């Protein structure tokens, strides 16, 4: 999900920057987006193939290992960084679209992402249609874009203040959700989460809400405001300084609030059996919904990455840029590849169609090997590398196709 912008895309009323400045600036965004796309695939590969994926939480401090904890924790960077960069891309779109054009585009794109979540991503993840309906990344980005279609009409300062209020203040709702007797209904679950995620919408059919939209909307709004650092009039030096300061501020806020252990995450950290496990407890922050501290410790390093990547141009960044420019395509395809491989492994292990049908009747609705079957992390990493590498030629082809066919309006939605 990338919004390419070149020097030809800048509106006639804006300053005319050197093409290389715009190019480098957008390349750093695409490169970071590509990096998180690759990391994201590691978490999904672990979900499908790790022996403990369906039996234990990889962040369970009583049972995890340093490698397993790091494997899961590093993937926390993906969703918040992507939401932030989506907001930045919206700002950059506004440099070449009128307010009404931008608003209509965001409305249509947001609705399309919600439909894609239900019709493309959920079936890829479960090999079933409409059961369950899972509301995850595309849903949260889509509904946030629907709101942004209206919010972009507000003054910049209003968007900044409202975005900060949501990101900094939404954990005040934790007290409501933790009150005795509180049970979140469907609409509250969509809004902020709460203590209930699975809802029946028909006999034998459920909706699973994993990404309540309020925090993700706030983060997208701040990403939109971040786009001002990428405006043509901002020098590279000033932009990088701003990114460094924002990164340090986010990480510093995480450390300060986490040490106080009173606000910013619904689950406090505690001293554990040893120093490393205590560090894991300190770093273990809440994702569903993303707490303030979760966003700080993930977005902070992401901002630092933006600053450091701007002046890096080599073969590695060229590969990462390709994944970043084809994020929607890559994200959708990789789920189908992973689940198909899981199905092949399931039947290759000698399991029957009856066992497959039984497996697909449970949550997660995947080809789960009986007896907690799966592989160790070493094999998981090898599968991850193979899947990501195998998708690169497809992504490169699709990126070239989009570049050659800019007149195809529908490509801007993919």
pLDDT, tens digit, 9 for 90 and up, residues 106-135: 999 999 999 999 999 988 887 888 888 899
β-sheet bridge partners, residue 202: 205
Could you tell me the two tokens for 344? 């092949």
Q: How many CB atoms lie within 10 A of CB 408?
A: 11
Q: At what angle do helices 213-226 and 78-94 cross, to 10 degrees?
A: 50
- Cβ–Cβ < 8 Å for 178, 247: no
The pLDDT score that the predictor gives to residue 348 is 82
* Nearest by Cα to 391 from 318, 326, 316: 326
The pLDDT score that the predictor gives to residue 275 is 96
The DSSP 8-state label assigned to residue 287 in this structure reads T
Residue 317 pLDDT > 90 = yes
3-state helix, strand, coil in the chain (%, to 5): 65, 5, 30
Average pLDDT of span 227-241:
94
- 22 pLDDT band, cuts 50/70/90, is very low
Q: What is the mean pLDDT of the chain?
A: 88
b/e 213-244 (16+ beta carbons within 10 angstroms → b): bbbbbbbbbbbbbbbebbbbebeeeebbebbe
Average pLDDT of span 251-258:
98
Q: Given the structure tokens 């209509």, which residue do they identify? A: 104
Average pLDDT of span 212-220:
97
* Nearest by Cα to 82 from 302, 332, 301: 302
Q: Give the pLDDT confidence of 130-177 residue by residue, as tens digits.
A: 888 899 999 999 999 999 999 999 999 999 999 999 999 999 999 899
Q: Given the structure tokens 């994926």, which residue do they identify? A: 53
Q: Give the pLDDT confidence of 322-372 residue by residue, as tens digits.
A: 999 999 999 999 999 999 998 888 888 777 767 666 666 665 656 665 555
Could you tell me the two tokens for 270? 């505690």
65 by Cβ neighbours in 10 Å (0-12 / 13-18 / 19+) ranks as exposed
pTM: 0.89
Average pLDDT of span 59-85:
96
Residues contacting residue 411 through CB under 8 Å, at least 6 positions apart? 402, 405
Where are the chain's structural domains?
A: 7-413
Residue 382 pLDDT > 60 = yes
């Amino acid at each position: 999900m990338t919004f390419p912008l070149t020097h030809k895309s800048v509106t006639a009323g804006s300053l005319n920057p050197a093409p290389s400045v715009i190019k480098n600036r957008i390349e750093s965004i695409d490169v970071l987006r590509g990096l998180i796309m690759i990391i994201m695939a590691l978490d999904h590969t672990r979900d499908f193939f790790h022996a403990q994926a369906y039996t234990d939480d990889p962040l369970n401090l009583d049972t995890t290992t340093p490698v397993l904890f790091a494997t899961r924790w590093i993937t926390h960077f993906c969703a918040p960084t992507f939401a932030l960069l989506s907001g930045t891309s919206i700002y950059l779109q506004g440099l070449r679209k009128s307010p009404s054009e931008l608003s209509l585009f965001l409305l249509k794109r947001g609705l399309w992402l919600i439909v894609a979540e239900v019709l493309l991503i959920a079936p890829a993840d479960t090999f079933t249609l409409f059961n369950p309906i899972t509301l995850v990344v595309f849903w949260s980005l889509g509904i946030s874009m629907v709101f942004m279609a209206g919010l972009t009409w507000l003054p910049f300062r209003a968007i900044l203040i409202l975005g900060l209020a949501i990101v900094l203040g939404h954990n005040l709702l934790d007290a409501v959700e933790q009150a005795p007797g509180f049970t979140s209904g469907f609409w509250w679950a969509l809004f902020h989460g709460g203590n209930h995620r699975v809802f029946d919408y028909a006999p034998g059919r459920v909706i699973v809400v994993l990404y309540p939209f309020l925090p993700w909307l706030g983060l997208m709004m701040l990403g939109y405001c971040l786009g001002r650092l990428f405006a043509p009039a901002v020098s590279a030096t000033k932009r990088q300084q701003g990114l460094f300061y924002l990164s340090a501020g986010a990480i510093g806020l995480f450390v300060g609030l986490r040490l106080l252990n009173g606000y910013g995450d619904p689950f406090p950290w505690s001293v554990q059996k040893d120093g490393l496990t205590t560090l894991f407890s300190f770093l273990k922050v809440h994702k569903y919904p993303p707490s303030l501290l979760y966003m700080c410790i993930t977005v902070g390093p992401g901002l630092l990455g933006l600053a450091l990547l701007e002046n890096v141009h080599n073969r590695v960044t060229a590969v990462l840029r390709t994944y970043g420019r084809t994020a929607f395509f890559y994200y959708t395809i990789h789920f189908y590849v992973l689940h198909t491989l899981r199905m092949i492994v399931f039947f290759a292990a000698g399991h029957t169609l009856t066992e497959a049908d039984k497996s697909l009747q449970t949550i997660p609705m995947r080809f789960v090997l009986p007896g907690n079957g799966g592989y160790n992390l070493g094999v998981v990493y090898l599968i991850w590398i193979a899947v990501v590498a195998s998708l690169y030629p497809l992504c490169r082809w699709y990126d070239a196709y989009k570049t050659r066919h800019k007149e195809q309006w529908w490509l801007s939605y993919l």
